[in-house]
Chain A
Amino acid sequence: MMDRASPENRVCVRIRDESDVGVARRRSRELAAQQGLSEAAAEALATAVTEIARNIVVHAGSGEIVFGAVADATRQGVIVTARDTGSGIPDIEQAMQDGFSTCSGLGFGLPGARRLVDEFEIESNVGTGTTVTLRKWA
């Protein structure tokens, strides 16, 4: 069965500064609870969302994060799509390696977020911005 995200469950959070990070985290937790994620899974997702949101604030300046419910034949979960219209990432492979961020080697940022979720996709075009999609299953 295909992924189906019910549109009524979609929530969009605009990310412009640090204070929006908290809003994104709250949405992430609400949806995680609704979708039956364990507390540990919800915490991991909130942490990943924090890193993605921080990334938008620090690198792109502004963007948005859309939260949605997702389900397939056997499970349900949360899908998070973060978009910005910043300058984009010239070398995604490099950006996804630890040690290229400012907090070199601590495993924060995009690589940290990837390890906290079940599925992680990133698409970036120089000049048009970056889209990161996370999925965390219950």
Chain B
Amino acid sequence: MSERLDKFGREYIAALEAYLKAVDESALSRAYELGRRAMIEGLGVLDMALLHRTALEDLVLSAPATEQRRFAQAAANFFNELLSSFEMSFRGYRGANEELQRLNETLRQQKETVESANRELESFSYSVSHDLRAPLRTIDGYSQMLLEDCADALGDEGKRYLRHVREATQYMTQLIDALLSLARVTRGEIHRIEVDLTALARGISERLRSVSPGRDSHFIINEGVRANGDARLLAVLLENLLGNAWKFTSKRTQAQITFGCEERDGKPTYFVQDNGAGFDMAFAAKLFGPFQRLHSLNEFEGTGIGLATVQRVVHRHGGQLWAEGKIDEGATFFFTLGGQNP
């Protein structure tokens, strides 16, 4: 018997003894008070049964035979009283449990409604983005034909205007592609496997370098970085983060971009660090919203959807994404990928 229970047992025996001597209500309410206190102290019904048995052995069985019957009855009353507060509490738990079940059911229904609305919205935005691409291709195609085949009729002014039309259509195509990519990241099941992030990052860095071979850039990609996640989504994530780092270091004489993994709070934390334009931490919260851009299009091109896509990938893995940066001193993006089964 634990010390606490032991002390409680002595009090119980003393109270029962007093009650057996003078069967009255205030002696009985002692049992109630003890039961109430037992509950608050976290003792259980079986503890009470044990106490009572010990008390019976001490008081009733040792009593004279003539008294035993009366004592047994009184002790039963006393025990009943001890358990009353447990009964009251039990009713409370049962009531609370029913309420909890009801609330859970409401929550489940609401979740279902939200999920189905989300699915509808996703498939709507997917098909809209998809259908918008065809007319854009037509506009761009005919603009190009006009520029090539009717150059003489257009004059310099006309050609300049048409070039703006083409730039705008191409930017819009990029936006739509980014939206489609965002939608794709949201759709479909996640298939977690062991992914070699070092190899992925290396491939992406080579492709980025081949696009502008003239740039003086230095990629530091840590060896042996692996993650458990969806290979397709993790590729989208790294393309966006490394692509961003590449873009925002374009004005540096020597760009330095690091990819690696370190342990933070016991969790593998991946990061992409650059020495580029950075950002003002005051706007850190805005970084990951779709169409949020902290730089003007003139400074750095972009759709404002990349980091929103990254965030979705991370959230779908049950992980977290955050960023640290300073204007003109570069930025670091950190992410975790949650457990095996988020």
Query: Could you tell me which residues of chain B, from 66 to 108, have a CB within 8 Å of some CB in chain A?
Result: 80-81, 84-85, 87-93, 95-96
Residues of B within 8 A of A50 (CB): 29, 32, 84
A47 touches B85 (CB 8 A): yes
A107 touches B96 (CB 8 A): yes
Docked Cα-Cα span, A98 to B96, in Å, equals 8
Residues of A within 8 A of B40 (CB): 103, 106
A115 touches B95 (CB 8 A): yes
What is the interface size of chain B, counting residues whose CB is below 8 A from a CB of the partner?
Answer: 22
B88 touches A115 (CB 8 A): yes
Say whether A60 faces chain B, with CB atoms less than 8 Å apart: no
Residues of B within 8 A of A43 (CB): 80-81, 84
Is the contact region of chain B dominated by helix, strand, or loop, or is it mixed? Answer: helix
Query: Could you tell me which residues of chain B, from 42 to 69, have a CB within 8 Å of some CB in chain A?
Result: none
B91 touches A22 (CB 8 A): no
B89 touches A108 (CB 8 A): yes
Closest residue of chain A to B37, judged by CB?
Answer: A103
Q: Would A111 and B92 be within 8 Å (CB), given that A22-B25, A25-B28, A29-B25 are in contact?
A: yes
Residues of A within 8 A of B93 (CB): 107
Q: Would A108 and B85 be within 8 Å (CB), given that A25-B28, A98-B96 are in contact?
A: yes
Query: Could you tell me which residues of chain B, from 301 to 337, have a CB within 8 Å of some CB in chain A?
Result: none
Query: Can you list, as one digit per residue, whether each of A30-60 has a CB less than 8 Å from chain B (1) or not (0)?
Result: 0000000000000110110011000000000
Q: How many A-B residue pairs have CB under 8 A?
A: 67
Say whether A88 faces chain B, with CB atoms less than 8 Å apart: no
Residues of B within 8 A of A22 (CB): 24-26, 28-29
Residues of B within 8 A of A61 (CB): none
What is the interface size of chain A, counting residues whose CB is below 8 A from a CB of the partner?
Answer: 23
Say whether B159 faces chain A, with CB atoms less than 8 Å apart: no
Closest residue of chain B to A111, judged by CB?
Answer: B92
Residues of B within 8 A of A82 (CB): none
Say whether B13 faces chain A, with CB atoms less than 8 Å apart: no
B39 touches A106 (CB 8 A): yes
Is the contact region of chain A dominated by helix, strand, or loop, or is it mixed? Answer: helix
Say whether A86 faces chain B, with CB atoms less than 8 Å apart: no
Residues of B within 8 A of A23 (CB): 25-26
Docked Cα-Cα span, A50 to B40, in Å, equals 16
Say whether B166 faces chain A, with CB atoms less than 8 Å apart: no
Residues of A within 8 A of B84 (CB): 43-44, 46-47, 50
A47 touches B87 (CB 8 A): yes
A98 touches B29 (CB 8 A): no
Docked Cα-Cα span, A113 to B91, in Å, equals 10
B25 touches A106 (CB 8 A): no
Query: Can you list, as one digit per residue, whether each of B4-30 has a CB less than 8 Å from chain A (1) or not (0)?
Result: 000000000000000000001110110
Say whether A116 faces chain B, with CB atoms less than 8 Å apart: yes
**Which listed residue (A44, A106, A113) contacts B87, Cβ 8 A?**
A44
Residues of B within 8 A of A44 (CB): 84, 87
Query: Can you list, as one digit per residue, whether each of A1-33 has a CB less than 8 Å from chain B (1) or not (0)?
Result: 000000000000000000101110110010000
Residues of A within 8 A of B80 (CB): 43
Least CB distance, B187 to chain A, in whole angstroms = 42
Residues of A within 8 A of B26 (CB): 19, 21-23
Least CB distance, B108 to chain A, in whole angstroms = 23
Say whether A129 faces chain B, with CB atoms less than 8 Å apart: no
Least CB distance, A29 to chain B, in whole angstroms = 7
Docked Cα-Cα span, A43 to B39, in Å, equals 18
Least CB distance, B166 to chain A, in whole angstroms = 65
A-B contact pairs, 7 of them (CB 8 A): A47-B32, A107-B88, A107-B90, A112-B91, A115-B91, A116-B87, A116-B88
A103-B40, A107-B88 given; 17 more Cβ-contact pairs under 8 Å: A22-B24, A23-B25, A26-B24, A26-B25, A44-B87, A50-B84, A103-B36, A107-B92, A107-B93, A108-B39, A108-B88, A108-B89, A112-B92, A113-B88, A115-B88, A115-B91, A116-B91
9 nearest interchain CB pairs? A107-B92, A22-B26, A26-B25, A115-B91, A112-B88, A47-B84, A22-B25, A107-B89, A22-B29
